[in-house]
Structures are given as structure tokens and as C-alpha cells.
Amino acid sequence: MEIFILYKAILVLVVFAISLGVAAYSTYGERKVAAFMQDRVGPDRAGPFGMLQPLADGLKMFMKEEIIPTVSNKFLFVLGPSLAMLTALMTGVVIPWGGDITIGNMVFPLQITDINIGILYIFGVVSFGVYGIMIGGWASNNKYSMLGALRASSQMISYEIAMGLAIVALVMTTGTLSLREIVTQQSGNWVNFIYQPLGCLIFIICAFAETNRAPFDLPECETELVGGYHTEYSSMKLGFYLFAEYINMFISSAIIMSLYFGGYNLPFQNYIAPYIDGNILSILQFGCFFTKVLFGIFFFMWIRWTIPRFRYDQLMNLGWKVLIPLAIFNILITGVLMYALGKV
Amino acid sequence: MMQLTNRKRVVVKKEMSLAEKLYLPAITDGMVITLKHLFKKPTTVKYPEVKRELSATFRGQHVLKRDEQGAERCTACGLCAVACPAEAITMEAAERKKGEEHLYREEKYATIYEINMLRCIFCGLCEEACPKEAIFLTDRIVPVDVNRKDMVYGKDKLVEDIQNRVDVSKRQTAAVLEFKKDKKHFHNQTWDDIQKQIKPKKHH
Amino acid sequence: MLLSQYIFLFLSFVAIISALMLVLDKNPVHSVLYLIITFFAIAGHYLLLNAQFLAVVHIIVYAGAIMVLFLYVIMMLNLNKDIEPHKKNIPKVAAAVAAGLLLLSLTALVNGAEVNMLPAARNSNIGLMDNLGKTLFKEYMLPFEISSILFLSAMVGAVFLSKKEIH
């Protein structure tokens, strides 16, 4: 029991550290990818190839003057970015990072907790993430912050619906809400993307909107709509908001990969698995999953530096008039096909 | 109106087809383009290590030339200050005293000569106006500074160092070089030419 | 005492305190935030009863969606002390009487209830999703569908009200 708790504590710390590390290097990756796509070099001064750039950025954020508007509610003002960070980090708990590792007769799964309603848990946390933005925008006591917060939160709750409906179709085919179960179902089988191409597309689009990434980055487009909800923020509190966005990107990429692209399963795993040790397989699986997730992050960036931003009415039209009907249609088609193929 | 080119195109707002309305083909097209650029060579010039080649007529930081003997050529006539469209140049003149001939070429010289580098637009009109071939713009880049005061360059920064001469011969056009051969004009004469002119006078 | 009992006490404490603060705080935005804390505490109670689905749905629907809309309205209306009209005493007395009666009936209800129901609920799997779904769609099919029609009609009504009249 004690070993179990210790193991879980270590795993939590590791996932925490990986999330933060990946988020930090995503900022670097973002700038590098942007630079290469625009035929530039990108940051290359801090350390070899600019590898220390995230540290320099972090240091800059810490050293900057911290400004709290005098009339704003100080507690809520600090609570906003803290909530954004908290909800971003909480989602990583249910993601299966790899198979089991067996030492002696003890089995250590590479997942912090496998609750049987994993997907719903993610939804709960994501829906709570809106508060970080709303509270921050309101506590700034600035009308532009407030408008930015309203803009951001209405976008997030609009796309949450389509996202949920896209998931419903997936849950119909898999018959479970546990992420680990969904991933194991895909081993030695077609990945869920084959069964749910439309649902996958809708889910990815909504994931972009939920993480406030381009082309849905209206909540924080600095150039056109002031700064959005974090106009009044400075120093590390601003850093928290920006950092939370990158963690969200990492986590949502992990969720997309788990749900639709086989999760931690290696390609042709059934042919490889009998020849190698279980623990090595698990480590290979973790590596495979990590590669997939990094590709997912790259995909996020790739889209960002390709597509221009939506206008707000286009954003809302897409969410309510296109994605939600499409998602409902997807559920219908899935149901009909499952009935026709006798899977019910 | 007469048509000058055949590049004119009438803009038509046509109904979009289904494929266009989906936007996905357009998005994938765009993504292919950005992916192609990912593997292109960056066009960045990494400045302090690699310097872009400057044009032969690049106009950078000014120099106040000395002649072959090391005397300052500037005579503080003020033509450069008058010519300057940005009014960046100011100076104060003084008369050369006996025994200072090796320091100042002309009988009048500039005690103070200042160029405000924040005002200067590096147009090169001062260089054109100068009758004494004293001021030239060079290919040196004016370094940045954090306060305005230090951006006003005095004689300490402008007059060339005797040990470390600034070569401006490339900046002089063929016409100027041709003109310089005409020894009628005093400022075209070298030190030796002047000595030759003085010696017969002494015999007289 | 068991660990779950400590957790129960803690959650109850949080729920009651934040519910009181919800009523007592003058700032409407703070009230909404206290209400969200109350919801979380109640979701914790559901978890203690092994009703994970109910707990998460409670958070998604109430804390995640409805309270966001509440917050929206409050932020947009920009309520504060200066604008709030001074209320007369009669509604206050009426509200106090109504709340007192509600409290009375609730205490009577709790007093009359059988106490040994709780441990049974804790050990059963009735709150898990499989059972919940089957119960809802088999035994309680009709009430479930009727309530969904109720929601639909409310939605249609909202759309109808928000639509501009075309002349």
C-alpha cells in the first residue's frame, strides 16, 4: 500500500514535470516552427540553437514588474491565472501514458488514475477552465478585459457542446468512458479515426477552439482586439495564462491521440509484442505516445501559422450552425450503422 | 481611359462550390505551402557574425578627414550645416594661431564640430557641399546608445585618427578624382605642392 | 472514525459555510463563486456515495454551464451597491417566513427518513453509469423523455423570444 502511494506520488510529479517541460519547450518550438515556416531562423542566441530560450523567457517573466490595478479585487485577480493553471494541469491525471510496468510481482500502470468516467472527468475540468478566464477578466476591472473574457468564455462553452456530441458518437462505438479501455481496444485493431473520421475532425476543431489556438485565437489576439482577458496582467501572472495555454495544447493533443489515433499503442504492436519483454514494450509505448503527442503539438502550430483568424460571427456560426448539426448527424449515422451491422 | 496594361481583372463575387464552402481543401493547400517552406533555407542574415554586403555608396557614420600631414581639412565654413536638411550639424570657428599649421590646414578651423546622429538622415548633402573635402560619409554603422546626449557626436568621435586612417577614396566619383588633379585650387594641392610654391618666394 | 467520515464532515462544513456566504455576501459575483464552491462540495458528497457519474455531470452542468451563464448575466448587468434599489420590509419578512417554513419541512423530512438507507447506498453500484443508464432508459423511460420534451419546449421558447420580429 505504501509503495503504491509512493509510486502514485512519483507518477504525479513526473506527469507534472513533463507537462511543464513540454509546455516550456512548446513556446520554443512554436517560435522555431513559425520561423522556419516563414523562412527565418528563430531564437538561436540563448544556448546552442537557442535551447535555453524558455529559461530566459521564464526569467524575464519573473523579473518583470508586477502590476495589480488598484481598484480590482486582489484575491480574484490572483485567483484567475491560478485557476487557469490548475485546470490545465488537472486534465493530465486520466491520460494513459503507456502500458504496465511489472517489477517483481507488483504492477505499476503508467497512468495516474483510471477512473471509469475518464472522458467525463476531462469535460468537467475543461468546463471549469472557463472560470479562470472569466474571473481574471472581471477582476481586472477593465471593460476591454471584461469583453475579452466574455468573448473567450462564450467561445469555450459554445465549442464544448460540439466537442461533447462528437465524443458521444465515439462512446457509442467503444462502449466505455475509460480512456485506458478506449486505448486498449485500439491495440491490434483499426484506430478509432477509421470508425469516426467526422467525429475526429469535429473533435480536433473544437480542441483548437477550447485551447484558444489559431484560427480561434480571438480571446487573445493582441493586434486587433486589445489583449483580451489578460490585458491588465503582467509578470508571472500573465505567464501563467500563456503557460496554461501551452499545457492545454499538450493535454488536448494527448487526448486526441488517445481517443482517435491509437494512444500509446505501437504500430503493428501485435506482431512485435510476443518478441519483447513487457517492461521494454511499455517504455517503447510511452516513447511512441510521446512522439504522437509531439506531432499533435506540431500540428497545432502548423495550423496556427497557416490559417488566418476567424471573425467573431464566423466563429459562432461555425460552432452553432455547422459543427453541432454535423455532430448530431454523426451520432445518427453511427447509430444507424451500428444497428445495421448488428453491433447493438 | 486608355488601357496601359493587360493586368486588369474584374472582381466577380461568385457563389462558392461545395468544396470551397467546406474550406478543408483550401486549408490543406495552405498547409502544404507552409510545409514546403519548413524545408527551405532561411534567408536570415545573422547580423553581428555575418554582415550583409554594403553598397559602394552606403552612407554611414561621418568622418572629418585630415590631410597627408595630419592636419584637419575642415575650415568651419558652415556650408555643410547650411546644406543639412535635418539641421543636424553645428560648429564653432576659431582662427589658427602661429605654430598650429601642422594641426589645421586652413587659417580658420572648427573648435567645436557636432553632428546629432539622432537628427541626421544620412543623405550625404554635407559631403557634397564641402569645398575642402573634409567631411565624408563612410560605411561604418552608427552604434546605438541609450541616451540622447551621447548621440551628439563631437570632434573626438568625428575627426579621423592619424594612426588609424579612414579610407574614403572609394567614395570619390571619377569626376571628383579628375577634378582633384587640377592643382589650381588650393585644396587640391598636397603638402609638397605648397612647399614648392613657397620656396621660390623665399629666394626672391 | 473512517477517512470517508472525515471527508464527509469537511465537505459538509465547506458546503454549509459557502452556502451561507452565498446569501450573506453583498457582491453578486462573489455569491456566484461561493455557489460554485458549494456545488463542488456537493459533488464530493456524490463521490462519497459512489455516484461518480452524477458527481461529474453535476460539475459539468451546474458549475460548468449554468453558473457561467449566471456569471455572464451578473457581469453584464454590472450590479453593485449604488444601483441596487432599496427594498421594502414586507418582501423581506415574507422571504424569511417562507425560508423558515422550508427549513421546518426539511427537518421534519430528515427526521422521518430511515437513517439506515445511507450505508446501503454507499456500497451499491447504483450510482455507476451502467446501472444509471439502464435504469433511466428502461424503468424510467417515459419520465425521462417527458422531461427532455420539457427542455426542448423551453429551448424553443427561448429561441422564439430572442428572435427579432420581421415586419
Task: Give the up-direction half-sphere exposure of residue B149: CA atoms within 13 A in the CB hemisphere.
Answer: 0
Predicted confidence at residue C123, as pLDDT, reads 55
Q: How far apart, in whole angstroms, are the C-alpha atoms of residue C137 and residue A94? A: 28
Of A39, A305, A307, the CB nearest to B27: A307
Cβ distance of C75 and A150 shorter than 8 Å: yes
Name the residue type at position A18.
I
What are the pLDDT digits (tens) for A135-155? 888 888 888 888 888 888 888
Predicted confidence at residue B201, as pLDDT, reads 52
For chain A, give every domain's residue range. Answer: 64-340
Q: How far apart, in whole angstroms, are the C-alpha atoms of residue A142 and residue A82? A: 19
Q: How far apart, in whole angstroms, are the C-alpha atoms of residue B179 and residue B169? A: 14
Q: How far apart, in whole angstroms, are the C-alpha atoms of residue A320 and residue C95? A: 40
Tell me if A343 sits within 8 A of A248, measured CB to CB.
no
Q: Would you say the ipTM is above 0.90?
A: no
Q: Work out the angle at residue C6's Cα, subtended by the Cα atoms of residues C3 and C12, and round it to the nearest 5 degrees.
A: 140
Q: How far apart, in whole angstroms, are the C-alpha atoms of residue C6 and residue C12? A: 10
* Confidence band, pLDDT 50/70/90 cuts, at residue C47: confident
Q: Could you tell me which chain B residue has the CA closest to the CA of A215?
A: B27
Locate A309 and state its grid cell.
Answer: 483568424
Q: How far apart, in whole angstroms, are the C-alpha atoms of residue A271 and residue A109? A: 22
Predicted confidence at residue C117, as pLDDT, reads 53
Burial of B124 (0-12, 13-18, 19+ CB in 10 A): middle
- The CATH class given to the C3-127 domain equals mainly alpha
Q: Does A77 touch chain C (CB under 8 A)?
A: no
| Strand bridging mode B89-95 / B62-64 | unpaired
The answer to pTM > 0.90 is: no
Q: According to the per-residue pLDDT averaged within each range, which of A18-27, B13-22, B176-185 is highest?
A: A18-27
Q: How far apart, in whole angstroms, are the C-alpha atoms of residue B5 and residue A304? A: 38
What are the C-alpha distances in Å from C153 to residues A237, A332, C71, C148? 44, 22, 24, 9
For chain C, give every domain's residue range. Answer: 3-127, 128-167
Share of chain B above pLDDT 90, in %: 34
Tell me if C51 sits within 8 A of C78, measured CB to CB.
no
Predicted confidence at residue C164, as pLDDT, reads 74
Cβ distance of C56 and A121 shorter than 8 Å: yes
What are the C-alpha distances in Å from A11 to residues A5, A17, A93, A284? 10, 10, 10, 17
What are the pLDDT digits (tens) for B56-87? 788 999 999 988 888 899 999 999 999 999 99
List, as one string, the DSSP characters of A238-266: HHHHHHHHHHHHHHHHHHHHHHHS-TTPP
The per-residue pLDDT of chain B, averaged, comes to: 85
Helix (H) or strand (E) holding A106: strand A106-109
Q: Could you tell me which chain C residue has the CA closest to the CA of A178?
A: C129
Locate B203 and state its grid cell.
Answer: 629666394
Closest Cα to residue A269, out of A180, A175, A184, A178?
A: A184
CATH topology of domain B62-168: Alpha-Beta Plaits (3.30.70)
Cβ distance of A305 and B41 shorter than 8 Å: no
Q: Does C70 touch chain A (CB under 8 A)?
A: no
Cβ distance of A127 and C59 shorter than 8 Å: yes
Cβ distance of A37 and B38 shorter than 8 Å: yes
Cβ distance of C65 and A127 shorter than 8 Å: yes
Buried b (16+ CB within 10 A) or exposed e, C149-161: eeeeeeeeeeeee
Chain B residues with beta carbon closer than 8 angstroms to that of A38 = 37
Name the residue type at position B39.
F
End-to-end CA separation in angstroms for chain A = 40
Is pLDDT above 60 for A160?
yes
Chain C residues with beta carbon closer than 8 angstroms to that of A115 = 52
Q: How far apart, in whole angstroms, are the C-alpha atoms of residue A237 and residue C141? A: 49
Please state the φ and ψ torsions of residue B91, each to the nearest 5 degrees: -155, 165
Task: Give the up-direction half-sphere exposure of residue A128: CA atoms within 13 A in the CB hemisphere.
Answer: 27
Of A117, A138, A146, the CB nearest to C53: A117
List, as one string, the DSSP characters of A227-239: TGGGTT--HHHHH
Q: Does A138 touch chain C (CB under 8 A)?
A: yes
What are the pLDDT digits (tens) for A231-278? 888 888 888 888 888 999 999 999 999 999 888 888 877 787 778 887
Q: Does C76 touch chain A (CB under 8 A)?
A: yes
List, as one string, the DSSP characters of A10-79: HHHHHHHHHHHHHHHHHHHHHHHHHHHHTT-----SSSGGGTTHHHHHHHHHHHSPP---TTS-HHHHHH
For chain B, give every domain's residue range. Answer: 62-168, 173-204
Of B27, B34, B44, the CB nearest to A305: B34
3-class state of residue B95 by DSSP: strand
End-to-end CA separation in angstroms for chain B = 80
Cβ neighbours, 10 Å, residue B147? 6
